[in-house]
Structure formats: C-alpha cells, structure tokens
Amino acid sequence: MRQIAGKLDATGLSFGIVLSRFNSRITDQLLAGAIDGLLRHGAEQSAITVVRVPGAFEMPTALRAMATQKQPPDALLALGALVRGQTPHFDHLAATVTRALERLSAECGRPVANGLLTCDSFEQALDRAGGKVGNKGFEAATSAIEMARLLRELD
C-alpha cells in the first residue's frame, strides 16, 4: 500500500495571500501569523505576495486573479474576519465567501487555505488571531504548505 501525505516544507514554494482590510485589528494579526508560519517552514519572503482587498466578499475575486496568472502561486491563502452583527448579513456573507473559496480551489487546481474567521463576537475573533485559541493565519499557512507539497507529490 502506498500512502501519500504533504510535508510542512515550504522551501521553493510560492504563496499568494489575499487579506481583507475590514476588521484590520484582527486581520493584521492573521497576516502576521500566516507569514510567520510560511517563513518558519522555509518559505522565502520574496516568494510571498500579499494582496489587500476591502472586505471578505472581494477575496475570491483577487484569489482567482492570482490563480490565473501566467505563473500562479503554489498555494493561496484567504485571510479575513467576519463578526456577527444584528442582521443576517453575516450569515449570507460567510456562506457566499466560503462557497466561492471552495469552488475556486476545485476549479483552479491550487490549494486555497481558508483563513476566514466567522465569529460571534470581536473577542472570539481576537482569540483566534493570536489570542487564547492560537492564530488561524498560522494554521492556514501550514495547511497551504502541506497541500502544495501534497499536490507536487501527486504530480
């Protein structure tokens, strides 16, 4: 039996990060965690491109543009933070963006790590952006690395 798994080795890989500016107090921390995760696992700083967009809704468009470049990154990361408000807007946005990220990954054949926080409160989001629960940006980075390596192994 042959078993294949990705490794946490970012050496020689390139990464595209799309960062939502909305809730920047949270998303800046997610970005710091993601970059830390990539660099700790061997990525070169010059192999990381960060694109900033206004909000979560715009992330899939920018990710698609990166995925369809002449030389697309080996893996993409979507980083953002949605915090529930008093209207159903949060639910619609969370579902729409998540579906778009899923569709993009399947269509482009590139890993798209979902680092979009969907939290009930600002405090929950802070806990997931370097607080009590760790940094989901760092986790998205390790997922992106592992999946990019896995796809190379499957080639």
With contact defined as beta carbons under 8 Å apart, do 117 and 82 qualify?
yes
Q: Helices (H), strands (E): how many in the chain? A: 5, 6
Domain residue limits, the chain = 24-154
Other Cβ atoms less than 10 A from the Cβ of 9: the count is 14
The residue that leads in pLDDT, 87 or 47, is 47
Pick among 3.90.1150.10, 3.40.50.720, 3.40.50.10860, 3.40.50.960: CATH of 24-154: 3.40.50.960
**104's tokens:** 């993009």
When comparing pLDDT for 37 and 85, which is higher?
37
How do residues 54-90 score in pLDDT, each as one tens digit? 999 999 999 999 999 999 999 999 999 999 988 888 9
Closest CA to 74 of 41, 98, 31: 41
Rounded Cα–Cα distance for residues 96 and 150 (Å): 27
Query: Does position 150 have pLDDT exceeding 90, yes or no?
Result: yes
Name the token pair of 89: 């807007």
Q: What residues are labeled active site?
A: 89
Residue pLDDT, tens place only, 112-144: 999 999 999 999 999 999 999 999 999 999 999
Does this model's pTM top 0.85? My answer is yes
Query: How far is residue 21's CA from residue 80's CA, in Å, rounded to a whole number?
Result: 8
